[in-house]
Every structure is written in structure tokens, then in C-alpha cells.
């Protein structure tokens, strides 16, 4: 059975801090790892990673994948209150298996 | 681009009734759509994969006669919860497959069964 584990489950930081979210996986069919941000409603797409060691960046967010050690990290620098959300990691090949998510709370 | 809509966004129904949820890809053709449910403070659980013009593939433990899925066109898939019961109350989310593995999610439908 596919397994996607995210850590920590939740964290609280202050504006301006940097956060690092972890995602480890064990799946039978791997093709890509995706990160999503979920606020009140459905998840919004952040990154898709398919190759090891290549960092993807979008503004203050960045992510990297290690296919040998089977994990990925998502970094958010200079956090803002608008970054408060649940961050979901999903892994798969055609169908996605989701982790439980990390709840990030950024306090002003 | 890659916008998916869902309707309704929120529905309350009586136990025993059926509820239909629509999922539309607005600016792309989704040959494959996925249906998920999400309980409070839990992650998304895949219910079924819907391919245009063919029968849906259900995940283990999901009753196909209870959760009817129809994917009649490249832009529309529907999920009908038949004879809904309070335990079916959940947040139902659809997604359309855009690229190789990217999925773009609809805003979700919150179902409350009284």
C-alpha cells in the first residue's frame, strides 16, 4: 500500500520566519511528487517534481526532491500571514496518494 | 488556465435522498477526472477515477452503486450520492488531469446529510 508521510503535522511561526516541510514516501509506482496548498477550499497547485536534486522555485516558495532517499522538502521563506494553510504532498503515477498535510499558522 | 468548477458548493439534504454534484473543466479538456472525499482535518481520499466515455474505476472500499459517476463529455463529470446517510456527510472534491500527473482541483462541495 502506498504511503506518504508529512511532518510536522502542524507548526506555528511568526511573520518573517522560514519554514521547512517534509514529505517522505513509499509508493509502488512513482512518477512525480506534487505539493499543494489548501486554505478553506480545494487544494491549489504549487509544484510538481520529477527529478532528483533540481530545485523548483516560485517567489518565496521552493521545493526539492530526493528520489534516492524518497523524500521532498518544501521551504517557505519570509513567511506572511497569507501563507497560513494546510500544505499537502501527493505522490504517484497517474493516480495520486496524499499525505495527511502540514498545517502552517503564521502569526503577525 | 486550468480552472475546474463544482456545483453546488454546499448542499444539505435529508437522509435517503440522492444528491448530484457536477464537476466541470472550464478551460481545458479533462479526459480523466478524479473524485475525492475529505473528512475534517484529514487528507484527501481518492474515491474513483472517471474517464470520459467509459465506466469509472472505484477505489477499494468505495461502493459503486452508492456513488454513481458519469463522465459524459470531456468537460463534465458528475457524482451522484444515492440514498445519502449522515455518514456520507463530507467535503467532496473533483479534479481534472491537466498534464502528465498534474491535477487541478475544483473548489469542493460540502455535503451535509440530516
Q: Do the Cβ atoms of A95 and B34 come within 8 Å?
A: yes
State pLDDT tens for residues A15-42.
999 999 999 999 887 889 999 999 988 8
Query: Which of B45, B95, B103, B106 to mutate to test binding with chain A, by most A CBs within 10 Å of its CB?
Result: B103
State pLDDT tens for residues B63-109.
999 999 998 888 899 999 999 999 999 999 999 986 666 788 999 99
pLDDT at residue A16, rounded to an integer:
97
* Chains A & B: contacts with CB separation below 8 Å: 50
Kindly identify which residue of chain A lies nearest to residue B107, measuring between CA atoms. A42
Kindly identify which residue of chain B lies nearest to residue A100, measuring between CA atoms. B43
Q: Do the Cβ atoms of A42 and B101 come within 8 Å?
A: no
Please report, rounded to a whole number, the percentage of residues in chain B having pLDDT higher than 70: 96
DSSP-derived letter for residue B3 is -
Q: Which among B105, B110, B113 has a CA at the least distance from the CA of B23?
A: B105
Per-residue pLDDT of chain A (108 residues; tens, 9 = 90+): 789 999 999 999 999 999 999 999 998 878 899 999 999 888 898 999 998 888 999 999 999 999 999 999 999 999 999 999 999 999 987 788 899 999 999 999
Q: Do the Cβ atoms of B107 and A43 come within 8 Å?
A: no
Higher pLDDT, B1 or B28: B28
For residues A4 and A72, the answer to whether their CB atoms sit within 8 Å is no
Radius of gyration of chain A, Cα coordinates, nearest whole angstrom: 13
For residues A98 and A39, the answer to whether their CB atoms sit within 8 Å is no
**CA–centroid distance for B95 within its chain:** 8
Residue A84's alpha-carbon distances to A21, A90, A105, A107, B43, in angstroms, are 13, 19, 5, 9, 17
Q: Do the Cβ atoms of B93 and A93 come within 8 Å?
A: no
Q: Do the Cβ atoms of A88 and B46 come within 8 Å?
A: no
Of B101, B104, B108, the CB nearest to A31: B101
Amino acid at each position: 500500500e502506498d504511503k506518504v508521510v508529512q511532518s510536522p503535522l502542524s507548526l506555528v511561526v511568526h511573520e518573517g520566519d522560514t519554514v521547512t516541510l517534509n514529505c517522505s514516501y513509499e509508493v509502488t509506482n512513482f512518477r512525480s511528487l506534487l505539493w499543494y496548498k489548501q486554505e478553506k477550499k480545494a487544494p491549489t497547485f504549487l509544484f510538481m517534481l520529477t527529478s532528483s536534486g533540481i530545485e523548483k522555485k516560485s517567489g518565496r516558495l521552493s521545493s526539492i526532491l530526493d528520489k534516492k532517499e524518497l523524500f521532498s522538502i518544501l521551504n517557505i521563506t519570509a513567511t506572511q500571514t497569507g501563507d497560513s494553510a494546510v500544505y499537502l504532498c501527493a505522490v504517484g503515477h497517474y493516480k495520486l496518494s496524499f499525505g495527511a498535510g502540514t498545517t502552517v499558522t503564521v502569526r503577525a | 488556465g486550468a480552472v475546474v468548477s463544482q456545483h453546488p458548493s454546499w448542499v444539505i439534504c435529508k437522509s435517503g435522498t440522492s444528491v448530484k454534484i457536477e464537476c466541470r473543466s472550464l478551460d481545458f479538456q479533462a479526459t480523466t477526472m478524479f473524485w475525492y472525499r475529505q473528512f475534517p482535518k484529514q487528507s484527501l481520499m481518492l474515491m474513483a477515477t472517471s474517464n470520459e466515455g467509459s465506466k469509472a474505476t472505484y477505489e477499494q472500499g468505495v461502493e459503486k452503486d452508492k456513488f454513481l459517476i458519469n463522465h459524459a463529455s470531456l468537460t463534465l463529470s458528475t457524482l451522484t450520492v444515492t440514498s445519502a446517510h449522515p455518514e456520507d456527510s463530507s467535503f467532496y472534491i473533483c479534479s481534472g488531469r491537466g498534464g502528465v500527473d498534474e491535477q487541478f482541483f475544483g473548489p469542493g462541495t460540502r455535503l451535509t446529510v440530516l
